[in-house]
Structure 1
């Protein structure tokens, strides 16, 4: 009993700490993940005789398929190309090791999740404070994150903070204010980062909030009209009053109308075109993890991309979807669909639970999955191990909360 209490407290500490450390301490995300996986495996062995091994139900199978599909597609591609590089499995392994977290936490007392909601708010507020005192006004970044990843993750923390309102119980005014400040801080960091691709997720988050609200059917059309009007009004006001938004949107318009292809957006379009061509050459298993980078000089010589685009393409395709398409072909795209859409389906199903705890966790989970669906359009989010770790761990934690087995036994 004493060991179980210590383990539970340790899990709570990790759930609070990892959103706080995500954007502030290099290696903090990975450390929290390793500790949580270790604790989960420990609890699996401790509780093996009491039933965890018997809970190989449909949810676990679906989650297992979702989190293992990426690593399988990489293995298939390596086998096809007769190559082997353990480095290619770094990010994908984070998804795979999230499975024991889901298996164990859905059987754990649901109160163990309580610190997570505060960690989300504190994490967003802390990175907002750091960016303010750093004096950065444009393309804000940290010592280990470029502006795109910083802005997208801060935005995610902010919305998860406010989405967690009234999760465990009806929140006090102080807690609501804390979570709203978390949202404001996340929005601020996103704006100052200038990460335009992440801004496209904001309307998605608002729609999740509306469509999954308890009484969404009451006046749904009016709510949607008001939301769309508010988004348009907010976009116009933001463009006119927030300097970084004005500058970044003007830059996007300039890129779209520029004669030279070597603009920020122009280079992306070139790389995406190259990815499609490489996919057509190897449609089933792709050109391999390094195939895109190795093809850049050849494609520059043939005029498919400019020399500048080729140099950038050796490092990143600037889209997780096009990168997966070129590198791992149809097998990779199937794994990508499983990675996103299976958890999304499970969260959506849990959103109709009779328990408030499940519904709020499901809403937060949909925020994570749909947010990353948008983020991955313009950047290879999972190139960074810490971001793959954040996605895998957060989906596992929130899905284990949304399907937690102890809620009905304790609450009515």
Structure 2
């Protein structure tokens, strides 16, 4: 017996997938619920996983994510660390059943894009409320938990970066609707893009702004064939309004000014500033890598060496004292110092392999919708690489879940579309 359309498996799974970007920043830990529901659904259909077409692209994704987790496991076993060390990276393995589920029942592109647009709008509205209603210094601040329990779980850096990705994906979708000559959808998705990007600026997460120009250049180059002068003028107009609005926001300008001040202080010998602490932790990671280049020093070994570098005046002792067990505020240096070249190679693989698949699938298709999905995937990966330059995104539950789930959602959609076309 055929189920009603609204009870169709593909529709239900698509709605679950779309709920991820919608709930991601709607409340403090909104990124947790959709992955749990999707994992439960995946386990319910695991007996069908033998029906998945295990193409080369599928195998590469499964291998890269699996190997990344194994580097954590191997390092923990080798150095006798606590098994809590593999709790966070276990998320990257738990999304693999979801990936296989989505290959069986690919998300509907129109539902998925709607989820991104709504999620980006919610991110912007929530950030505006945080700044102008709650009167806090930065949107998505940890201090919000004192206002209401539902606000517990926000982190300005993590949440601001997620908002930036949602905003840029909405911008990618707006270009697709421009090509489809759907003016109201183009306008709505462009507003969503502005709100998502604006939310990132209101969060004060400066590391999330570094790769914004690269993302814009990538989108302009990928869609150069139908971006007219009129569109360029309109886009510049919108961006000018956005920049003007940001220039009037005291908290945003304060964050930019503080970065300049921190660099000046660092050059003058004062390392104990926001950027100075990062630079000292980066130096410590580099010194540690020189001692253990292949397999890293492990977490405990890294702490011991930090104390050594501080004792030898190679890094600021006050920074090490207060941030002894902190991550390196750079995911690449974090993996390099803790798990060595092997760990760094595994990290690069979970970026390079998905990105190469998105680029390849974008290049070989003539479908505007498929091109849009692949551009969304490429933007997601590119921006995460940028975030990881100034933050150890994967040392936080939100960062690991956000990247791994976003990647498998967009990759499963891309691969399924390619197979359907062929």
TM-score by shorter chain over 0.5: yes
d(CA) in 1 for partners of 2:139 and 2:106?
Answer: 40
Coordinate RMSD, CA, aligned? 3.3
**Structure 1 residues 231, 109: CA separation in 2 closer, same or farther (over 3 Å shift)?**
closer
CA shift, 1:71, in A, is 1.0
Kindly indicate whether the alpha-carbon contact (under 8 Å) linking 1:110 and 1:404 is maintained by their aligned counterparts in 2.
Answer: no
Deviates more, 1:268-277 or 1:93-102: 93-102
Q: 2:263 aligns with which of 256, 259, 274?
A: 256
Which residue in the other structure is 1:163 paired with? 172
How far apart in 1 are the matches of 2:277 and 2:99? 40
Summarize deviations over 1:305-356 as a string: whole Å, max 9, x none.
Answer: 2233111242221111111111110111010110100101000001121222
Structure 2 CA distance for partners of 1:189 and 1:390, relative to 1, 3 Å = same
Cα distance, 1:109–1:17 mapped onto 2, change above 3 Å: closer
- Mapped pair 1:133 → 2:129: yes
Relative to structure 1, the CA distance from residue 406 to residue 363 in structure 2 (aligned partners, 3 Å threshold; closer, same or farther) is closer
Match of 2:323, SS state, is helix
Q: Is 2:297 aligned against 1:287?
A: yes
C-alpha deviation, 1:32, in angstroms: 1.1
The superposition leaves residues 36-71 of structure 1 with CA deviations (integer Å, 9 ceiling, x where unpaired) of 1232343341464xx32xx22201111012211221
Query: CA shift at 1:24, angstroms?
Result: 2.5
Task: Supply the distance in 2 between the matched residues of 1:307 and 1:234 (Cα, whole angstroms).
Answer: 45
Partner of 1:102: 99
Aligned ranges for residues 163-202 of structure 1 at < 5 Å?
Answer: 163-165=172-174, 166=176, 170=180, 172-202=182-212
Superposition deviation, residue 8 in structure 1 = 2.7
Cα offsets for 1:152-194 (capped at 9, x unmatched): 1111111112212347994743332321221121122111111
Aligned equivalents of 1:72 and 1:154: distance in 2? 30
Shift of residue 376, structure 1, vs aligned partner: 0.5
Inter-CA distance 172–270: structure 2 relative to 1 (3 Å threshold)? same
How far the C-alpha of 1:405 sits from its partner, in A, is 4.7
**Structure 2 matches for 1:67-82, cutoff 5 A?**
67-81=65-79
Using structure 2 for the length normalisation, give the TM-score. 0.85
Distance change (3 Å), C-alpha of 1:188 and 1:109: closer
SS at match of 1:315: coil
1:257-289, CA deviations, whole angstroms, 9 ceiling, x for partnerless residues? Answer: 212111211111111111011111111111113
Aligned 8 A contact 2:61 2:354 in 1: yes
Q: Alignment partner for residue 66 of structure 1, among 42, 64, 67?
A: 64
Higher relative contact order (CA 8 A, sep 6+): 1
Query: For structure 2, which runs of at least 5 residues remain unmatched after alignment?
Result: 142-151
Please report how far the alpha carbon of residue 105 of structure 1 lies from its aligned counterpart in structure 2 after TM superposition.
1.9
- DSSP 3-state at the match of 1:164: helix
- Is 1:356 the counterpart of 2:353? The answer is no
- Say if 1:290 and 1:6 are closer, same or farther in 2 by CA, change over 3 A: farther
How far apart are residue 84 of structure 1 and its match?
4.3
SS in 2 for 1:296: helix
**Residue in 2 aligned with 1:117?**
113
- Paired residue total: 400
Q: 1 CA distance for matches of 2:243 and 2:34?
A: 40
Name the CA distance, whole Å, in 2 between partners of 1:231 and 1:180: 9
Deviates more, 1:233-242 or 1:354-363: 233-242
